[in-house]
Amino acid sequence: MNRSLNNLLQLRTRQLGLSLSDVAERAGMTRAYLHRLAVGGTANPGIMTLQRLATALQVPASAIYRVFTNTLACPQAAAMRHEGLPTSDGGAGPQDVLVFVADVTVPDHTVFLPGERFTKTWALQNAGSVAWNGRRLVRADDELVISLRNAHGQLQPLLDSHLDSLGRSVAVPTTLPGQLVELSVEFAAPLENCSVASIWRLEDAQGRPCFGPRCFLQAVVTVIGG
């Protein structure tokens, strides 16, 4: 069973006062198909299917992607909250916790014209007991790719990582435990019609990932020419 999706479905249907049939109808799928998604019986749902399900549940599309997608650097779906464990490669300590709060601007699959520039802003919270000092938000497209496992267990890229940013890193201001911080990156949409992504992660002053490969931020947009 896909426990992450099943738990999310139970939570959101209860909060929204909807039945599974209501969610399925709003997502443009049958209740039987939604059930197969929840129990892991559908190996490779399409990206538009995931987008419609996110809309039906009134959650960011990234919350659904993180249930189904993998990064090439790790076997499990990325979590919205990742409590780091001590590692030899500079991973976060047990009291260093990041919580994704919201896409402040440019929700996933916002539509832009070819070549259009825009600013993506994420809101994060330092939910641990360690102050964030000297950290940076760094582009990680060279190492991480949003992908799905096919029926044979092989990872296949879900989106091209060709979304150009106007810089490769952003300084994270000192963020004390409990504080929220907003981080922004400027992008330029590709010149062709497509759906593209860019992947970012937090690194410490020595350039080491703070929370491991499963904790990342993403910008996903759709480009449609005029």
Segment 96-149, tens digit of pLDDT: 888 887 888 998 888 999 899 999 999 888 888 889 999 999 998 765 455 545
Which residues have C-beta within 8 Å of that of residue 88, sequence separation ≥ 6? none
Q: What is the CATH number of domain 3-59?
A: 1.10.260.40
Q: What is the pLDDT of residue 41?
A: 63
Q: What is the pLDDT of residue 69?
A: 54
Are 213 and 85 in contact by the 8 Å Cβ rule? The answer is no
Segment 158-207, tens digit of pLDDT: 455 568 898 999 999 999 988 999 999 999 998 888 788 888 989 998 88
**What's the rounded Cα separation, in Å, for the pair 215 and 182?**
16
Are 158 and 69 in contact by the 8 Å Cβ rule? The answer is yes
Q: Is the per-residue pLDDT at 12 higher than 90? A: no
Q: What is the pLDDT of residue 153?
A: 62
Query: Domain 81-223 adopts which CATH fold?
Result: Immunoglobulin-like (2.60.40)
CATH topology identical between 3-59 and 81-223: no
Are 69 and 51 in contact by the 8 Å Cβ rule? The answer is no
**What's the rounded Cα separation, in Å, for the pair 35 and 31?**
6
